[in-house]
Structure 1
């Protein structure tokens, strides 16, 4: 608003109906006035104020309405001096001191209607001189008045009380620069003592300022200086915390908000702090790989493996996109029918949810991942491309790019892992004396416990990040948030067919010979390969080879896509009859190395016998001296084989009937008979949800 050629704004002083007011605010149509000298506050229409004959603009100078919070932190005696001086300044400006009772009349010489500002200032200087006050000259009073009008009562405070303290005191600035360089260089180093940092500072000074005598403070002074300059750096504390803080980006953190389930997900893998019993009884640890939905904080899938492979991350996607089936022993209360999820609407769209547990199906649209070799592998990327999932890599060494999955994994450690027998603690210093000997669960048993805890605990636990934006005090659970967002996003079921599953598997390129396909000394063959034997692939980029899909945890068969009808051919391993159970590629490679170390001829039969020996040794461990390293290696191989063959995530697809065996030439001049093909169950997407993970 404007009065004449001057603007009325908050802090302006006006005269209205024989009273003086300060403008406390305006909303464009109304003006809020606070009384000066005892006048009552007033709210009046801007039009009525401007057209009133008694209205006049006393001052357009802005004045702070209330003291800042910093004023309340000052010592009491400093505040009392400033408040007393404020009463004198306001008497000069307004005619009556601040806080005077209503109806107080100005003293002689201070009436704003009959005296000028300079006359009132001179009267105040004379008064303070006579009383021995803090103001002794007109110039000093004018400086205090100007400061008060600009900063309020804080402008009357002794500046020495507001001066910032130098954290380094009177230490030589060259020492400060050297200390900052040493702290920066130690960001990714190991933590040490203050004495080591001081020695590093001395060496830095000798190299940076040769021939100069730079005074280094004493150890006590250096301790105090370091505690102030290195505050928040963890210079002598946790090295992991120090690295994490250094990796945070500069400036405020940006937030990407997801408004529908699966719109944005994050994936990560880390060791779980729980000791488990591996296949041969040896105690070890497992790795946890989890996929978390940002919009609902739902743990879409979480798998435990002795060591995480690329295929685990790829098959994790299939698990997130598949309903969680009810398992024997689970309470009926965790069924989807009894949860906050809109079961009746969902089951009409996806029949697989009829017997499912209360864990939402998450169909990822975008996945944020770090630069771990598992997530940058061709297998994982190919799986995402197949399912139409966009990949968003995080910045190098920047955990803040995927904070939700990082924090969720920490929560799994505190809410689940620490309550499991065999908990190892987050570090060695937190580990109990007999923690490893207390291990009581195998990998499969711990996986089942984790799945049950996610359904019963995590999905029904109120999450502080799922607050209602309109009702800040209302906190939702992941299941409740999922149900709330369905009204916005809806539900799109994506059942995995056998074709989808095979596309998720890793690939390699091989030649189809007259005897079949050879992969790592294993030969695969079937009748359907007859038209393709000794033929070149129509894909030019493969240089005549064929693209073979294989399961790294089951060497029993591979898949080849036919160029004519775009169908899958399943080729079986010819030594399938010799193995008691299908085992993984890790076990096969381990057996091949054993045969090579013996100096024997590397054949399919020899490798099969070596792998069978490894698994037998894992079941009955060798306690002889000097076999520790071999037993640990065998235990990891056996544990991974057990974890992936007894509890596969998705039933493997296969033809309805096994192809008949036929005679075929052998490699390495072997005269072995052709193995009988043992078909595995047919892949059925509709019954996928009923399979036991």
Structure 2
């Protein structure tokens, strides 16, 4: 094995061209190429070029010691033995670097190479390892070209295919069948085997390629599909396919509010919406990555809207008040938060609970329509918050908030009456009968747990900046970081709360403002009827609350003006946009637009009244209950001191018309949950007393007037709470 020598006449590759060495002069090498171009290059620069190579020189590299270690021990020992034999044939000494006297039959000074090869072959044959001189010569050549790896038995080093010697046509058919069932419902291997047989018949003809026996086929399928997300249940395959390709970059935030993750998920608890109707709720949270603090939570009936996400932003910058009945230890003044210094900057912290007030700089959201809606983006823009959408189906991009949902399920939800488990396979029997908490009560319990447990529990991934080995709680982490980053209070006015609501661009006509089959009108619109605004599209900016459609806010030149719904007095109970859409889908239009809107208002009022009295179908009661539940969360009764105990209180009232008792939770077993109305039922309800209003007070005759509850969302009251 001679090293490559660079001399006159040597051809080499340099700078993506082929050169011939003309002369060596000190440290310089003079080169000439096929076009007779001459170049003089320093030898060190020449050797350092990544394209440099000597044409025709044997390519030697470092033996792959890692691959050698994977081989069986006997295979490695055989390769090491051949290395000693080859070295002895070529140099006379089996181990280089030692003062050894070559044996006579392998002494290069006394024997030719051919003689030494013959002697080594004879020695190996006598030792029980038959070999010829040709074999010795071949091993010398392999050692010269590949080093020690060239002496390894190729049969032992051959990479084995996971499918062995299976027919390539069968393998291709299995892969095609596995790929075709990615989106299909869960099936068995026998179904897959039949599908492979059909593919082979269509591709190669009937009987040309046989499907392997069931046992062989199953082993082949597992070899191809295990850990590839191609087998298992449909849910397991969907989870695997939704995972983004690694590697995953850790999310790092160094100051409070630098990165806040928002997300929604169904809460694993059955709740009492209203009037005995039981259903699921949806939880939306905001998690600060730097401190792992839960900045805000919103619990709503299923179907979170953009207004919920916007209210979440407002909650983050507003201190949480101590609730009646909470322990004094939950107050911010009793926590590790530097309360004395903070209250001097923000008087609102007086009497606040021990939850950090964090102003978000960037919020990470998923591709849900709520978080990418124009309303939510506008709300973030009004607060100076940057919106960063996560890539589609990329759980690790917001892994912190996803993990927090699991923690809420493990440490909170499973201890609450009505716990359902994370999916139907984990649900117990008669879970609906266990539900006894209303939505406001669950919200209150969740807030108390977050402050009492989560905010004070040390987190393994939170380390004090000055003591990396010390795990701290979210409150302790915020206390450590707020001293460095500072605290600036964000005060929201009445106009700020209105700004956070969903936006529409509408015109002001002679009849007022109309959208969603509702007409809003007030005398403040008189100077602007039929006129274009100063905006490029000529439309006026209108903000509305889906949880309280009884009024809207219009931005006029003088500022925000509240405009009521013209049929506001006809509907005495709280309702939401969801309830209104249900009425629109069930009431047939029988007149002009004004008459139709009046009929919708009357049908809505009768629906809410029937549901409040426990009458009507289960679908009707559920629609009304969702409206009442949303109202109860946004505006509890003014005299409410603390949530009553549902097991002892005879009735519960959260600012709703009507009440429920634990006995009313039992619905008839034979009543199905309907997607629509009964065919035999008039959507407008009983005809008696319909539309009769002799007193002119908006209340149908023959029924007692029901006091109107407080507004579901009152921006003025929200702004003056602190």
Classify the TM-score, shorter chain.
0.7 to 0.9
- Give the equivalent residue in structure 1 for 2:552: 558
1:341-420 matches, cutoff 5 A: 341-420=337-416
Matched, 1:460 2:456: yes
Aligned pair in 2 of structure 1 residues 214, 441: CA closer, same or farther (>3 Å)?
A: same
For the residues of structure 2 that align with 1:633 and 1:268, how far apart are their CA atoms?
25
- Give the equivalent residue in structure 1 for 2:628: 638
Question: Greater shift after overlay, 519-528 or 201-210?
Answer: 519-528
- Residue 383 of structure 1: SS of its match in structure 2? helix
1:196-595 matches, cutoff 5 A: 196-210=191-205, 213-250=208-245, 252-306=247-301, 307-466=303-462, 474-486=470-482, 488-510=484-506, 512=508, 528-529=524-525, 531-532=527-528, 534=529, 536-543=531-538, 546-563=540-557, 565=558, 567-573=559-565, 582-590=574-582
1:476 Cα shift? 4.0
Contact 1:554 1:645 (C-alpha < 8 Å) held by counterparts: no
- Give the equivalent residue in structure 1 for 2:174: 179
Long gaps (5+) in structure 2 = 7-59, 639-692, 700-706
Contact 1:129 1:135 (C-alpha < 8 Å) held by counterparts: yes
1:141 Cα shift? 5.5
1:130-209 matches, cutoff 5 A: 130-132=126-128, 138-139=136-137, 142=140, 158-209=153-204
1:507 Cα shift? 3.1
Question: Greater shift after overlay, 610-619 or 518-527?
Answer: 518-527
**Which deviations, in whole Å up to 9, do the C-alpha atoms of 1:598-625 show, x marking residues without a partner?**
9999588765664454444444423x8x
**Which deviations, in whole Å up to 9, do the C-alpha atoms of 1:343-373 show, x marking residues without a partner?**
3443333232332222222322222322322
For the residues of structure 1 that align with 2:173 and 2:458, how far apart are their CA atoms?
49
For the residues of structure 1 that align with 2:379 and 2:71, how far apart are their CA atoms?
63
For the residues of structure 1 that align with 2:152 and 2:197, how far apart are their CA atoms?
42
1:559 Cα shift? 2.1
- Residue 278 of structure 1: SS of its match in structure 2? strand
Contact 1:308 1:374 (C-alpha < 8 Å) held by counterparts: yes
For the residues of structure 2 that align with 1:118 and 1:63, how far apart are their CA atoms?
30
For the residues of structure 2 that align with 1:292 and 1:94, how far apart are their CA atoms?
74
Aligned pair in 2 of structure 1 residues 215, 516: CA closer, same or farther (>3 Å)?
A: closer
For the residues of structure 1 that align with 2:327 and 2:112, how far apart are their CA atoms?
86
Contact 2:92 2:102 (C-alpha < 8 Å) held by counterparts: no
1:611-626 matches, cutoff 5 A: 611-622=604-615
Contact 2:607 2:620 (C-alpha < 8 Å) held by counterparts: no
1:230 Cα shift? 0.3
**Which deviations, in whole Å up to 9, do the C-alpha atoms of 1:184-231 show, x marking residues without a partner?**
222222221111222222223333345681232111111001111101
**Which deviations, in whole Å up to 9, do the C-alpha atoms of 1:294-319 show, x marking residues without a partner?**
33333222221112122111211111
For the residues of structure 2 that align with 1:90 and 1:298, how far apart are their CA atoms?
69
For the residues of structure 1 that align with 2:92 and 2:310, how far apart are their CA atoms?
77
1:380 Cα shift? 1.4
* RMSD of aligned alpha carbons: 4.6
Contact 1:587 1:638 (C-alpha < 8 Å) held by counterparts: no
Contact 2:575 2:627 (C-alpha < 8 Å) held by counterparts: no
**Which deviations, in whole Å up to 9, do the C-alpha atoms of 1:212-260 show, x marking residues without a partner?**
8123211111100111110113434132332232233445234453332
Aligned pair in 2 of structure 1 residues 679, 196: CA closer, same or farther (>3 Å)?
A: closer
Long gaps (5+) in structure 1 = 7-60, 99-103, 649-668
For the residues of structure 2 that align with 1:82 and 1:338, how far apart are their CA atoms?
73
- Give the equivalent residue in structure 2 for 1:50: none
For the residues of structure 1 that align with 2:84 and 2:289, how far apart are their CA atoms?
57
**Which deviations, in whole Å up to 9, do the C-alpha atoms of 1:88-131 show, x marking residues without a partner?**
78999997979xxxxx97554399xx999999x97987765554
- Residue 683 of structure 1: SS of its match in structure 2? helix
Aligned pair in 2 of structure 1 residues 231, 518: CA closer, same or farther (>3 Å)?
A: closer
For the residues of structure 2 that align with 1:428 and 1:678, how far apart are their CA atoms?
37
Aligned pair in 2 of structure 1 residues 456, 130: CA closer, same or farther (>3 Å)?
A: farther
Aligned pair in 2 of structure 1 residues 376, 78: CA closer, same or farther (>3 Å)?
A: same
- Give the equivalent residue in structure 1 for 2:102: 109
Contact 2:574 2:709 (C-alpha < 8 Å) held by counterparts: no
1:286 Cα shift? 0.9
For the residues of structure 1 that align with 2:464 and 2:140, how far apart are their CA atoms?
53
Aligned pair in 2 of structure 1 residues 456, 220: CA closer, same or farther (>3 Å)?
A: same
Aligned pair in 2 of structure 1 residues 278, 89: CA closer, same or farther (>3 Å)?
A: farther
Aligned pair in 2 of structure 1 residues 642, 87: CA closer, same or farther (>3 Å)?
A: farther
Contact 1:289 1:303 (C-alpha < 8 Å) held by counterparts: yes
Contact 1:553 1:583 (C-alpha < 8 Å) held by counterparts: yes
- Residue 187 of structure 1: SS of its match in structure 2? coil
Contact 1:555 1:582 (C-alpha < 8 Å) held by counterparts: no
- Residue 170 of structure 2: SS of its match in structure 1? helix
1:553 Cα shift? 1.7
**Which deviations, in whole Å up to 9, do the C-alpha atoms of 1:46-72 show, x marking residues without a partner?**
xxxxxxxxxxxxxxx9867x964x666
1:498 Cα shift? 1.4
Contact 1:192 1:236 (C-alpha < 8 Å) held by counterparts: no
For the residues of structure 2 that align with 1:598 and 1:445, how far apart are their CA atoms?
43
For the residues of structure 2 that align with 1:468 and 1:174, how far apart are their CA atoms?
60
Aligned pair in 2 of structure 1 residues 597, 255: CA closer, same or farther (>3 Å)?
A: same
1:45-124 matches, cutoff 5 A: 68=66, 75=72, 77-78=74-75, 107-109=100-102
Contact 2:463 2:469 (C-alpha < 8 Å) held by counterparts: yes
1:325 Cα shift? 2.1
For the residues of structure 1 that align with 2:123 and 2:489, how far apart are their CA atoms?
86
Aligned pair in 2 of structure 1 residues 129, 592: CA closer, same or farther (>3 Å)?
A: closer
Contact 1:324 1:357 (C-alpha < 8 Å) held by counterparts: yes
